[in-house]
Amino acid sequence: MPNYVVGHKIPDSDSICSAIALSYLKTELGEHTVPARLGELSPETLFILDKFGFEQPELKLSYAGESLYIVDHSERTQGPDDIDEATILGIIDHHKLGDITTSTPLECWIRPVGCTNTIIKMMYDFHDIAIPKDIAGAMMCAILSDTVIFKSPTCTTADIKCVEALAEIAGIDDPQALGMEMFKVKSAVEDTPIRDLVLRDFKDFDMNGHLVGIGQLEVIDLAIFDNIKAELEADIAALKAEGNRHSVLLLLTDIMKEGSEVLVVSDDAELTNKAYGKASTNGRVWLDGVLSRKKQVVPPLQESFS
Ligand code: MG
Ligand code: MG
Ligand code: MG
């Protein structure tokens, strides 16, 4: 039976590329390990897999009785539903420490950097294992995605250095141009069902006993939402009711203007005022300079619930 590597539900490019990269490293180190995923892939991730010639990792939702590495999260709400019945061999992550615990010792690589793949690059270096060209390309794209081409406040010099090193291995002359190409793919919303857009990059958090869902759409121009904003608002209201959530936020992030318009439905009308010092008007508020859910959106919100 192989070991698995799996990222969070509603997988993003970091979750998928880190599953692929870590599986290769572990297998090279003598542990047969395969990448897996907890859901369907986004157009951006499909673009990366296609560009570097990878198949989609196996769709695998149940891990009872198996051994796995968790990447790109450490939250019970975001991991496999039956994680309690699995053996967690390790966690490699760059988010706040979540609530996954283990009954056996585990390997932990947790660093406050912009992307899980940056940490996995450190692991390759630590073990002195060469990164294949195609894996280097996928890792590089994941870092460009998670750091919003270095613009996110989560981006560190380690992330930038990793992109430079991985670009060299992958033979990519202009990583930032490839990053823009990727964000153009990410910005395409036409012909996509509204619910798919809302859930494209959506995470649930347990905030002091309240379930809060936060989605994010990162695009190169917010004008693409002009015609569908009302539908997005209706859908997050439906999602709040269906999941019995306290609040649902949808961040419409403009990576060129470097800020986010937040659409919010909440049991607490004062939610954004309490968390960010800015009241919402008709369920909308612009937060200037806000690009990162994990660093700028979740912490103040969590604080407001405590
Ligand atoms: Mg992620
Ligand atoms: Mg990540
Ligand atoms: Mg992200």
**Can you give the residue ranges of every domain in the chain?**
3-184, 194-304
pLDDT in tens, the chain (306 residues): 999 999 999 999 999 999 999 999 999 999 999 999 999 999 999 999 999 999 999 999 999 999 999 999 999 999 999 999 999 999 999 999 999 999 999 999 999 999 999 999 999 999 999 999 999 999 999 999 999 999 999 999 999 999 999 999 999 999 999 999 999 999 988 889 999 999 999 999 999 999 999 999 999 999 999 999 999 999 999 999 999 999 999 999 999 999 999 999 999 999 999 999 999 999 999 999 999 999 999 999 999 998
Instruction: Record the pTM.
Output: 0.91
Q: Which residue type occupies 25?
A: L
CA gap 237, 198 in Å, rounded: 11
Give the C-alpha separation, 191 to 41, whole Å. Answer: 16
CATH assignment of 194-304? 3.10.310.20
Q: Give the separation between CA 260 and CA 255, rounded to whole angstroms.
A: 8
Structural fold of domain 3-184? inorganic pyrophosphatase (n-terminal core) (3.90.1640)
The token pair at 37 is: 């995923």
Ligand located closest to 15 CA: 1
Nearest alpha-carbon partner for 264 in 256, 295, 254, 252: 252
Determine contact, residues 53/134, Cβ cutoff 8 Å.
Answer: yes
Ligand nearest to the CA of 38: 1
Q: Please name the residue ranges forming H helices in 89-174.
A: 116-127, 133-146, 157-170
Contact 89, 23 (CB under 8 A): no
Residue 245 Cα to ligand 3 midpoint, Å, equals 21
Q: Which ligand is nearest to the CA of 39?
A: 1
